Structure 1
Amino acid sequence: MKTIFIRNAEIKMKPVALLEFPFDQQLIDLVRTIPGSAWQPDLRAWAIPYSDELISQLLPLFRGKAWLDYTEFKRVKVELKPAPISLPELSEKLVGEIGKFSDWMRNLRYSESTIKNYSQGIGLFFRFMGNKNPELITNEDLELFNKDYIISNKYSASFQSGVINAVKLFFSNRLNRKLEPALIERPKQPRILPHVLSKEEVKAILQAHQNIKHRAMLSLIYACGLRRSELLNLKINDIDSKRGTVRIHRGKGAKDRVVPISEKILELLREYYKYDYPKEYLFEGEKLGEKYSEGSIQKVLKSALVKAKIRKPVTLHWLRHSYATHLLESGTDLRFIQELLGHNSSKTTEIYTHVSQKSLQKIKSPFDDL
C-alpha cells in the first residue's frame, strides 16, 4: 500500500492539513470526497480544512487502501485573526513601472526567484498605499506599511526585510523621490541556530532506502553539503571523478564553486549510473533529460525518516547543516568550510560553532561539582 504523508500548513491565513502521496487515482477520488479538499499545484499536495478530529476522520476513510503517516501533523491552536486589509489592484502605470524594474534586475542577472519576490513585494507596498504616485512616497509611508500591514498581520521579520529590500532597490533607481533608501533600516533578524543530526542519525537516514537512486541523492547532499536546488541542477559532467571534485554552477548568489567528493560517494554514484543511465542531469525525473522535482526529493527524505524511525522534523537542509558541523568537529578550518558551503560572509559560517558538540562538551556544568 502507498503512504499518505500528512502535515500542517497555512493557506490564506487559515490552518489546513496537506496530504502528499504518489499519483493514485483511487486515493485521489477518496480525497475529493472530503469537504473543502483542493489540489495545491505549488505544494504538489491536497489541502483539506484543519480540525482536531481530522486524523480520526481520515483513518476509516483510507483503511485498507493506504498507510497514513501523521508524525508531522500536530494539533494547533486556532486563533481568530482580524480580517486582512482589502487592497486595491495595482494601477496600469505602476504595473508598467514594476515591469521596468523587473527588466532592470533581469539585465543585472538577478535570479528569477529574487525578481519575483522583489516585484511582488513592491507591488504589495504600492497596493497598500492605494497606488500613490512613487514620487510622493516618503519614509513615513513605509513605516506606516510596516506598522499597519506587516506587524498587525504578524508577518515574519524575514518577510518584512524582503519587502524593505525591494522598496530600497526600487527607489534607489528612481529620480524625484521623497523616500530616502539610505535612511531605511531593516528589522532585527532573530538568530536561529541550525539543526544538526548526529552521525548515527545521518547514517540511518542515508541507508534507509534500498532504491539506489534515492540513497545516492540523499548521500550526495550530505557528502558535499549541497543545497536542494544545487543537487537537482547537477549535470553528469559536473562530476570530475579523476580530480575528485563536484562543480556547482550558479549556486546561491549566482556563484560557482568546487567541492571535494570522496571515493566512497563516487562508487555509489557509479553504481547508481549503471542502474539509471541519466541523459543530462545527474538525477532525472520520469522523463529523460528533465531534472528531478523538488517535491519528489522531499518525499524521498520523508520516506527515509519513516524507515529510519526518526521522528524529528528533518529537512534536506539539516543534512547540509550536519555536514558543516561535522567538518568543524573533525578539525576543519572555518575558512575552508565557508568556501565549501559558498557563504559570502564568515559570520554566516561561524554560527556552526554554537552547535558544535566538540565545543559544547568542553564546558563543565557547575552542577557536576555539587
Structure 2
Amino acid sequence: MFDIEYLILIFRDEFNYFMMKKVVKLLPLQHRNKDCVAIQFDFNDSIKAAVMKVGAKWSKTHTCFYILNETKLKQRLFLSLKKLNCFVDYSAMPKVDQVKKSVNKEASLPKSHAHALQVFEDYLIGQRKSPSTVHTYRNFLNLFLNYYAKRDLASIDLRSIEIFLEQVMAKRGYSVSSHRQCISALKHFSELNLGMKYDPANLYMPRKDKKLPVVLSSTEIVLILRSTKNLKHRAILGLLYSSGLRIGELLKLKLGDVDLERNTIYVKQSKGRKDRNCSLGQRIRPMLLNYAQTYQPKVFLFEGEEEGKPYNATSIRQFLKRSCQAAGIQKHVTPHTLRHSYATHLLENGVDVRYIQELLGHSRPETTMIYTHVTERKIDEITNPLDSAIQKFNRMDNETPNPLLSRNENK
C-alpha cells in the first residue's frame, strides 16, 4: 500500500511533466465562408514552424493560425505537435455528429426554400455557367435562404434583400467582390419567378475596388527562383512567370500540352471557356526537362503525392511564400503576382498591348490596360515637377548668383 508522501511525489512529477508541455488549443472557426480550425498557442518558434509546415495560414481578422477543417490536415497537425511534446487541447471542437449538422445547413431549410435552391442550381447549369460560378452563386443563395428560413418566399421584398446585404454581407466583412457576386446571384434568382417580390434592377451594385496589381521587378523574380531549392517548386514558379499562367491553368496542364519543339504551351478551356497558346521561354526548357526526368509525371505535368492527380494550389502558395521570405522580399506575393509581373515586363520591353492581351487570354483590352498604370518604362518618362523646378532655378542661378534652395546662409 502506498503511503501519502509517495503519492504526493508521483502527483508532483506528473504535474511537472504536464507543465513542461506547451499547450496548443484547437477551436472551430468560420473564415471566408469556410469551415476551419483555429490554432491558438503562446508564441513559440518551434510550434509556429510546425503549424506552418502542415499548411496553416495566419488570419489578421481572427489573429491566429488556421487550417481547413479536414481530417487529413488535422491528423498531420496533431502528429507534428506531438513530436514537439505539445499538449493538444481539442475539447472545444464539436463532435462528428455536430460537424455533420453544421456543414449540412441545407437540411434545416424548409422544403420550399430547399426546392428553390435546387431549381436555381439546375437553372445555372442550364445556362452553362462554369462549375466555379455555379458553386459560388449557389453558396450565396443558400446563405440568403438560411437567413430567411422562417419566412415565406412571397414575403421577401426589396427591403428584405437590402437588410440581408447590410447585416450579412457588409457586417460580416465580405469583400466588395463577394458582395457583387451575391447580388449577381440574386439577380439570376429573380429570373425564376419563385414568389419573391422585387425588381432586380433596383438592387444597388457597389463599385469595384480599383487596385493596382503588385508587380515584382526582374531582379526579384530571379531572387525568388534562386531561393527555391526544390526542383519541382522552381519549375512551377518559373513556368507561372515565363508563360503568364493562372494557377488553375498550370494545375490542369497535361504532358501533351507542352510543345518543346514549337516553344508553346496549349492552355485548354481556361477562364471564359477559351483555348490559347502561351509562349515557353528558352531558359525554362532545360529546367522542365530536368524536372520531368527526375519526377517522371504520368498524366499531369505537375502531380501531387497521389500519382495521376494534379498538384495542390495551396502547396504552391505555401512554398512561394517561403521562397519570398528566403529572398528577403517584403511584398505580398501570390502566384497571380507572377502573372502580373509577366504582363508588366512584356509591356516594359515594348511588346504591343494587343499581343499581351492574346498571351494572357483577356477577353477585353480594358483588362490588359491596367498594366499601363504600373509599368516602370512609362513612369520613368514622366519628369517630376520638383526636378523641373530645380533645374529651371539652377539655370537662372548660373546667370545671376542668388541664394540656392539647398544652401544655408550665414547671417
TM-score band, normalised by shorter chain = 0.7 to 0.9
**Any idea what the Cα deviations from partners look like across 1:208-258, whole Å, max 9, x if unmatched?**
223221111000000111111111111001111222211112222332221
* 1:28 paired to 2:81: yes
* 1:229 paired to 2:248: yes
Measured on the aligned residues, the alpha-carbon RMSD in Å equals: 2.9
8 A Cα contact 1:335 1:346, kept in partner: yes
Which piece of structure 1 moves more, 106-115 or 117-126? 106-115
Partner-residue secondary structure (3-state), 1:118: helix
- 1:238-317 superposed matches below 5 A: 238-317=257-336
**Any idea what the Cα deviations from partners look like across 1:54-99, whole Å, max 9, x if unmatched?**
xxxxxxxxxxxxxxxxxxxxxxxxxxxxxxxxxx942222112211
Q: Which residue of 2 aligns with 1:45?
A: none
Q: Distance in 1 between matches of 2:362 and 2:91?
A: 41
The partner residue of 1:142 within 139, 161, 173 is 161
Report which of the two has the higher share of helix. Answer: 2
- State the structure with bigger RCO (CA 8 A, min sep 6), 1 or 2: 1
* 1:129 paired to 2:148: yes
Q: Distance in 2 between matches of 1:107 and 1:129?
A: 26
Give the partner amino acid of 1:160: H
Q: Which residue of 2 aligns with 1:109?
A: 128
Q: Which residue of 1 aligns with 2:63?
A: 15
8 A Cα contact 1:126 1:132, kept in partner: no
Partner-residue secondary structure (3-state), 1:250: coil
Give the partner amino acid of 1:322: S
Compared with structure 1, are the counterparts of its residues 308 and 105 closer, same or farther at alpha carbon in structure 2 (3 Å cutoff)? same
8 A Cα contact 1:31 1:37, kept in partner: no
* Rg larger for: 2
CA apart distance, 1:201: 0.1
CA apart distance, 1:361: 1.0
**What is the aligned length?**
321
Q: Distance in 1 between matches of 2:163 and 2:325?
A: 47
* 1:171 paired to 2:221: no
CA apart distance, 1:136: 4.3
CA apart distance, 1:105: 1.8
Q: Distance in 2 between matches of 1:250 and 1:342?
A: 11
Q: Which residue of 2 aligns with 1:193?
A: 212
Partner-residue secondary structure (3-state), 2:301: coil
Q: Distance in 2 between matches of 1:346 and 1:38?
A: 51
Q: Which residue of 2 aligns with 1:216?
A: 235
Compared with structure 1, are the counterparts of its residues 299 and 8 closer, same or farther at alpha carbon in structure 2 (3 Å cutoff)? closer
Q: Distance in 2 between matches of 1:184 and 1:18?
A: 35
Q: Distance in 1 between matches of 2:81 and 2:274?
A: 41
CA apart distance, 1:23: 5.0
Gaps of 5+ in 1: 40-87
8 A Cα contact 1:193 1:355, kept in partner: yes
Q: Distance in 1 between matches of 2:121 and 2:213?
A: 33
Give the partner amino acid of 1:93: S
Q: Distance in 2 between matches of 1:362 and 1:31?
A: 59
Q: Which residue of 1 aligns with 2:110?
A: 91
Q: Distance in 2 between matches of 1:316 and 1:189?
A: 22
Compared with structure 1, are the counterparts of its residues 94 and 177 closer, same or farther at alpha carbon in structure 2 (3 Å cutoff)? closer
CA apart distance, 1:143: 2.0
Q: Which runs of 4+ in 1 moved over 6 A?
A: 19-22, 36-39
Q: Distance in 2 between matches of 1:309 and 1:38?
A: 38
Sequence identity (%): 36
- 1:63-78 superposed matches below 5 A: none
Partner-residue secondary structure (3-state), 1:33: strand
Q: Which residue of 2 aligns with 1:363?
A: 382
Q: Distance in 2 between matches of 1:103 and 1:303?
A: 42
8 A Cα contact 1:106 1:115, kept in partner: yes
